[in-house]
Amino acid sequence: MADEKGILMTGRQSGSGNSAMDCSSLIREIGRGATGARSLTSEEAKSLYGAMLDGRIGELELGAILIALRMKTESNEEMTGFLLAISERLPSMPRPSGCGRPVVIPTYNGARRAANLTPFVALALQRLGVSVLLHGPDDDDDSFGRVTSGQILSAWGEPSCRTLAQAQQRLAERRLAYLPLSSWMPGLAGQLALRRRLGLRNAAHSLVKMIDPFAAQGLLLTAATHPDYLVSMREVLSRLGRRALLLRASEGEAFANPKRCPAIDYLRDGIVETLCPPQAHSLRVLPVLPETATVDRTVLWMKQVFAGDLPLPPPLARQLACCLYACQAATTLDEAVARVADRFPRIDDDGASSRVAART
């Protein structure tokens, strides 16, 4: 990630000479604890976060702001303002030509216990004709000992891009690209890096899951582990009219739990529709999954599923169908389900019921 010693001088070319922002009054408002603090308005939050991204906040003040927000919990108004500030500074990528909207997958958690199957979802969508942009940490980021999507994709033969232009070229030629956040939003990457110094996550860890570099022309595939964060993300994305699929995370990642499919909500134009209801019970037959979360085991499992040697777990089949429909690569959900079944003829015994659930 971004050099932690240079965190405050990232964003618009080291602040581009912008004067420092006096934020003592804002810190006083948000720093009075969970009961006494006042949340910022969306406009105040946008102005503050813009200054944070532009490197116009001193190091002491930045730490105080992040801890104060963490203690009181960021409001939806604040998160909306923060996301608007990011959107104004987000380098815009042209929408790739081809099948439907590009799918954007933020992948920052990695996996420690069960395998990280986010790369599988991305590669499956690529094979179904959809363009997929993944973004996450740098290759040399150990992510606290977790197996990252970047590591898995590199072992698969899809190395990380180093520039925005390279990512655009990969999308045009191969319909898939992995782009480290530091390559295109160094100010935001710097805030993620502060976790190592402060010992706590901050708002940036949620915000990176809600950005769309295609100027709101992509489909965001995103997730959260805790129900409160799911509610907040649903509210913020709906307010901004973003198009997204939102689900409960597996290992902190945006792939459907292969043993029990979560609810998958489709957000568009401020409307929320549940495309796939939560699976009430575990599968009758548990799917064959990688024995460990290591890169080698995960890559081997993906190869076997793509070759048809192992069946595709029904929850992942449902998720792929929802993606095809939501990104407009398929006209109806039934058509999307059929396309997934054609590409993956081996779906576990629960496959028939998964088709019914996906259409509910």
Same domain, 196 and 342: yes
Same domain, 62 and 130: no
Residue finishing a domain among 89, 122, 142: 89
pLDDT on residue 13: 34
Same domain, 59 and 171: no
Q: Is residue 95 part of a domain?
A: no
Residue with tokens 């992942």: 316
Q: What is the CATH number of the domain that holds 68?
A: 1.20.970.10
Same domain, 39 and 136: no
For residue range 202-256, what is the model confidence (pLDDT) as tens digits? 999 999 999 999 999 999 999 999 899 999 999 999 999 999 999 999 989 999 9
Q: Is residue 94 part of a domain?
A: no
Same domain, 177 and 317: yes
Contacts of 259 (CB under 8 A, 6+ apart): 282, 283, 286, 287, 313, 315
Q: How far is CA 230 from the centre of its chain?
A: 12
Same domain, 77 and 123: no
Residue with tokens 């108004």: 77
For residue range 306-330, what is the model confidence (pLDDT) as tens digits? 999 999 999 999 999 999 999 999 9
Same domain, 203 and 64: no
Query: What's the predicted TM-score (pTM) here?
Result: 0.89
Q: How many whole angstroms separate alpha carbon 325 and alpha carbon 338?
A: 11
Nearest C-alpha neighbor of 132 from the set 215, 205, 218 = 218
In this structure, are residues 119 and 149 in contact, taking their beta carbons and an 8 Å threshold?
yes
Q: What is the CATH number of the domain that holds 305?
A: 3.40.1030.10
How far apart are the two ends of the chain, measured CA to CA in Å? 42
pLDDT at residue 283 greater than cutoff 90: no
**H-run or E-run covering 346:** none
Q: Across the strands, what pairs with 266? A: 245, 273
2 versus 254: the higher-pLDDT residue is: 254
Share of the chain above pLDDT 90, in %: 72
The domain tally of the chain equals 2
Q: Is residue 45 part of a domain?
A: yes
Tokens at residue 272, please?
């929320």
Q: How many whole angstroms separate alpha carbon 187 and alpha carbon 11?
A: 4
Q: How many whole angstroms separate alpha carbon 167 and alpha carbon 245?
A: 22
Same domain, 166 and 226: yes
Neighbours of 196 (CB within 10 A): 11
Domain carrying residue 15: 4-89
